[in-house]
Homo-oligomer: A and B are copies of this chain.
Amino acid sequence: MTSARWWGWLEPRRVRPLSPAAIARLEEELGGPLPLTPPVALDAVDVPPPQLPAGFEQRLRETAAVATDRLARVGHAAGKGYVDLMRMRSGDATDAPDAVVFPGSAEEVAATLELCSRQRVAVIPFGGGTSVVGGVTPVRNRCEAAISLDLERLDRLVVDRTSLTATFGPGLRGPRAEARLQARGLTLGHFPQSFELATIGGYVATRSAGQASTGYGRIDDLVHGLRLVAPAGELRAADVPASAAGPSLRELVVGSEGALGAIVEATLSVRPLPERRRYEGWSFETFAEGADALRTLVQAGEEPDVARLSDADETRLTFALGSTGSVAARAGRMYLRARGHANGCLAILGFEGDAHGVDRRRRNVAARLRGRGAVALGTRPGSAWLASRYAGPYTRDELLDRGLIVETLETAATWTRLDGLYRAVGDAIRPTLAPALVGCHVSHLYADGASLYFTFIARADRERPLEQWRAVKRAASDAIVAHGGTITHHHGVGRDHLPWMRDEVGELGIDVLAAAKARLDPAGVMNPGKLLPVDHA
């Protein structure tokens, strides 16, 4: 049985630890020894006593299952972003919810929200708790207490084979949902890096993209029917393939991050399990050339289902952290150097579907890419990527153990703006953290543009870690806004992106969202301090 570590990712660990060579390389790049700095023990974590109004816990227990033990409260005190983990590792769970509620039905959700609205107790909907933008941190604002609403018991799955849809309970985690679908020859095709822990409800509430979004579509593309239980009642989006009945309320619920209510059911498109999968590596001489090649693929309707292009620094970083000094790896690098790609950019392209289609598509792609000077690296890099697609958060735990700041951020822009955005964000991050390792990849293709995903690693400022993080976040986000990117392509707004929501949707846009929230959540108890600037939430 897998479970989340309160201070990090999952246990048991499923990935190999960093090699001594990798640690040595990091020490070399980041200016010296990286001693171990483990998290505090659970007993040492600072958790204030619950602050629920008198008699409230009893009424909660009459409504749904409730936990108030230390582990439950600490385990729901934070998400899995750098800021969250840094605080938890230091023993700071002062934000912990006063109770964790586990409703067993939509009716129990509704009753809990009613109770909390009446008493002004904040409600933080909780799926897998994998937010990396502070989305599940219990913020009280004007509420006197906070509960975490863990939806794990809402885990039903009903399949409509004819329409190729499935209706999911929000609490179903990725692996369990996939296992149940795959037993019927189906797949959702949604594989975010948080797959092992994240839930269907979380996918929908945060507009998750998934690593295979280029082929399978973002969660926004897959959602049909939805049920949102809000304090003011239930909002339903009909399970129909398309509608012209006015503005889309479905699209108001998708991405609502628990601030409007709790998603209690979602009907999504599913697909037959692919007959064949082929993932392969390609090398491009430069990032700009690679991005332009991917652009021509997607604009010709020839895009792979997964397409990830790392810049030169990320390519180097990937090789360095994965390095075992093996002969094969060295031979591969020598080959690329001989082909003029000494400082090349690695792309992983994945094709899924029926055997014939996969073969045809990859042949067409290969012909196009060769015509642009790309070098085929075969399936080994593809298999390696598939094997490690969920490894990032485990590795991050190790890097945090070494006293590093490790953070990612992501954006998207039109192809016209992409290169300028790429340069500006990198240029904003590097001087703020120097010395730092900063890598970037394109990971989701659209006809009109693509996403950019940045990872950076530096030595954490042990005295003022939050200030250090804020400085780099601000620099990068300001650059994103200034260069025509969205403040988030798939991580969501949470708390971290609030300062840029005005840039993203404008003052009037915020007012409109606030008006919708006021109608659905008049007492303002739903996930306060997220999605909308604090004076509106």
Contact = CB atoms under 8 A, between A and B. Distances in A.
Given A413-B240, A485-B240, A486-B243, A249 B444 contact: no
Given A269-B448, A299-B164, A301-B353, A504 B248 contact: no
Interface in A219-242: 220, 224, 230, 232-242
Given A230-B508, A416-B163, A515-B515, A248 B254 contact: yes
A449 B414 contact: no
A507 B249 CA distance: 12
Contact of A244 (B243, B246, B484, B489): B489
Contacts of A224: 414, 448
B520 A512 contact: yes
Interface in A454-498: 484-493, 497
Contacts of A254: 247-248
B444 A242 contact: yes
A480 to B, nearest CB: 10
A246 B416 contact: no
Nearest to A236: B506
A413 B242 CA distance: 8
Interface of A is mostly: mixed
Given A269-B448, A506-B235, A412 B243 contact: yes
A446 B415 CA distance: 28
A531 interface: yes
A8 to B, nearest CB: 24
Contacts of A509: 235-236, 249
Given A163-B449, A235-B509, A243 B504 contact: yes
A241 B412 contact: yes
B251 A448 contact: no
Nearest to A444: B242
Interface of A: 160, 162-165, 206-209, 218, 220, 224, 230, 232-257, 260, 269, 271-272, 295, 299, 301, 353, 357, 412-416, 444, 446-451, 484-493, 497, 501, 504-509, 511-513, 515-516, 518-520, 531
